[in-house]
Amino acid sequence: MRGNPEAHELIAPGSLAAVLELLSSAPGEWTPIAGGTELMVAHAAGQLRSHKLVSLWGILDLRFIETGPGSIAIGAGTTFSDLRAHAGVAAHLPLLAKAACLIGSIANQSRATLGGNLVNGSPAADSSPALLVYDAEIEMVSVRGRRRIPYAAFHTQYKRNAMAADELLYAIHLPLRFAHHRQYLRKVGTRRAMAVSKVALAATALVTGGVVNEIRLAAASLAAFPTRLYQTEAALLGQPMTPDAIQAARNALVAEVQPIDDIRSTAAYRRRVAANLLEEFLIGLSSEETPQ
Amino acid sequence: MSACWPILHMTVNGEDRAVQAPPMKRLLDVLREDLRLTGTKEGCGEGECGSCSVRMNGELVNSCLVPVLQAEGACIQTVEGLAANGELHPLQQAFLHCGGAQCGICTPGMLMAAAQLLAVNPHPSLAEIREGLAGNLCRCTGFMRIFESVVFTTANSAEDSANRGAAQAALAR
């Protein structure tokens, strides 16, 4: 049953301050909508629950990429096309640039925003694994002020996050200290474009003296929300990349992840492929020392 | 009730247009119903197939996913805006020449996605053409002829015929 546009109110206050005032005046009553690539799909299917929507599209205070000395700040309203086109993102955050190319299609990338991807909170979110292995921080804003939390603490359960009802996601902060890390991101879907991932894995690691000195692993579609794989990381720290260590890491990953059977794949397939992706990354790590 | 709807202004194919519509009405429906521009087609209605692709402020969008309020003040180009002065756009001529259209429902979206691609990348490789059109599905599965149409367009506009030869050789593989 198609959604009825007359059943939904949509307003565009036009400024960040006005949106925050609105959210504060009636917490939880208004649903922010940016590029609409998620909410308009629900609307088309007659499943958009929110009757009051407030547009974030066109608010330039939310659409920026600022390169600082030690970090890059990305406004929540930055589109994936913006990310693809930004030389600093390509140079310093190659996994995020790659994720931006993997999401949907060109027509989705021109509308979908980084903030929307995170707030929507799909377990399969394409930008999440990259942000997790880059130690991203999330900045939220409300009339009460701003606060920052690690992105790893943002998702709390399936489609739930740490934001209060009057808060808006403002920016994503990425520290630039992974230049010497080996980096990896691979998404496995039904086809290259437009597919929701069956499984995706991102990684950053430093290998020195033949052993893993630092490693971050993160996955999509392997749990109720995108997560770091801390136990698998722990199994790899200090290890040389021997076949035994790689097998132990595979075992740790399979024990740690909690995939489900759904319309896109099966838990067994997701476990197997996730372990294969990890092995692909680790074999790459073993082939050479991290360039210093 | 309709008296309550805002009047929204946009530039569509170079002309100033005003529509009065519910803010959540899809740009697709405004184009087809309010402005009678039925060249833009609806396929899936959920942003997966690209049939409703139009250009908005120089970017490709699925018009089924744009609430019309967000198109306020925008420059929209639909398939009706491709031909100029009674002459088909080079892409349209190429689709005719190469057999890039079969049943036709994906064609307006394919043309707009191809127009977007060539606007930002006048000489795309075959891989870039495939990526540029990856969000557009052809239910007749005529993808090779569609890619060939884009190659033909770029080859005919290219200064270097070497590009044409290389692109067509790539297609043949």
CATH number at A22 reads 3.30.43
pLDDT of residue A109: 97
- Are B100 and B153 found together in one domain? yes
Which residues does chain A have with pLDDT short of 70?
A: 1, 288-292
Which among A2, A38, A81, A106 is the top mutation candidate for probing chain B, defined by the most B β-carbons within 10 Å of its own β-carbon?
A: A106
Same domain, B77 and B102: no
Residue A170: the pLDDT is 98
Angle at the Cα of A44 from the Cα atoms of A41 and A49, rounded to 5 degrees? 80
The confidence score (pLDDT) of residue A219 equals 96
Round the average pLDDT of chain B to a whole number and report it: 92
- The residue type of B120 is V
User: Where among A22, A37, A55 does a domain terminate?
Assistant: A55
Q: Which domain holds residue A75?
A: 60-175
pLDDT on residue A32: 98
Domain, as residue range, for B96 = 90-172
Q: Are B52 and B62 in contact (CB under 8 A)?
A: yes
Tell me: do A231 and A134 sit in the same domain: no
Last residue of one domain, picked from the residues B19, B49, B81 = B81
Using CA coordinates, name the residue in chain B closest to A82: B59
CA-based nearest residue to A271, from A287, A262, A258: A258
CATH label of the domain that carries residue A108:
3.30.465.10
User: Does B76 share its domain with B98?
Assistant: no
Choose the final residue of a domain: A126, A141, A175: A175
Residues B69 and B108 in one domain: no
Cβ of A41 and B1 within 8 Å? no
List residues bridging with B7 in a β-sheet.
B20
Question: In this structure, are B165 and B98 located in the same domain?
Answer: yes
Inform me whether the pLDDT recorded for B157 exceeds 80.
no
Query: Per the domain annotation, does A65 fall within a domain?
Result: yes
Q: Residue B69 carries which DSSP code?
A: G
What is the model's pLDDT at position A262? 87
Q: Is there a single domain that holds both residue A159 and residue A82?
A: yes
Q: Are strands A211-220 and A199-208 parallel, antiparallel or unpaired?
A: antiparallel
Q: What is the pLDDT of residue A292?
A: 46
Domain count along chain A = 3
Distances (CA, A) of A112 to A40, A120, A160, B96, B138: 11, 11, 19, 33, 23
User: Over 80: is that where the pLDDT of B170 sits?
Assistant: no
Average pLDDT for B86-115: 97
What integer pLDDT is reported at residue B2 of this predicted model? Answer: 58
Q: Look at B65 and A105 and tell me if their CB atoms are within 8 Å.
A: no
Average pLDDT (B31-35) is 98
- C-alpha A107/C-alpha A105 separation (Å) is 5
* Cβ(B91)–Cβ(B150) below 8 Å: yes
Q: Do residues A105 and A127 both lie within one domain?
A: yes
Instruction: Give residue A14's pLDDT.
Output: 93
Using DSSP's 3-state secondary structure scheme, residue A188 falls into strand
State the smallest CA–CA distance between residue A171 and chain B in angstroms. Answer: 22
* A292 within a domain of the structure (yes/no): no
So what's the pLDDT on residue B171?
65
Which are the contacts of B166, defined by CB distance < 8 A and separation ≥ 6?
A: none
Contact flag B22-A5 (C-beta cutoff 8 Å)? yes
How far is B168 from B155, CA to CA, in rounded Å? 9
Check whether residue B74 and residue B98 sit in a common domain.
no
How far, in Å, CA of A92 to CA of A133, rounded?
A: 13
Number of domain units in chain B: 2
d(CA A273, CA A106): 27
DSSP assigned state of A56: -
Reported ipTM exceeds the 0.95 cut: no
Q: B67–A44: do the CB atoms touch at under 8 Å?
A: no
Tell me what pLDDT residue B49 has.
96
What is the domain-level CATH number for residue A254?
3.30.390.50
Interface residue A62 vs chain B (CB under 8 A) = no
Tally Cβ neighbours within 10 Å of residue A110.
24
Residue A193 lies in a domain: yes
Q: How far is A204 from chain B (nearest CA, A)?
A: 27
A9 and B65 within 8 Å at the Cβ level: the answer is no
Residue B164 clears pLDDT 80, i.e. is over it:
no
> Residues of chain B whose C-beta is under 8 A from some C-beta in A?
1, 21-26, 29, 45-48, 50, 53, 59-62, 64-67, 69-70, 72, 113, 116-117, 131-132, 134-136
Q: Are residues B95 and B165 in the same domain?
A: yes
A255: exposed, middle or buried (C-beta count within 10 Å: 0-12, 13-18, 19+)?
A: exposed
Residues B104 and B58 in one domain: no
Is residue B54 located within the same domain as residue B13? yes
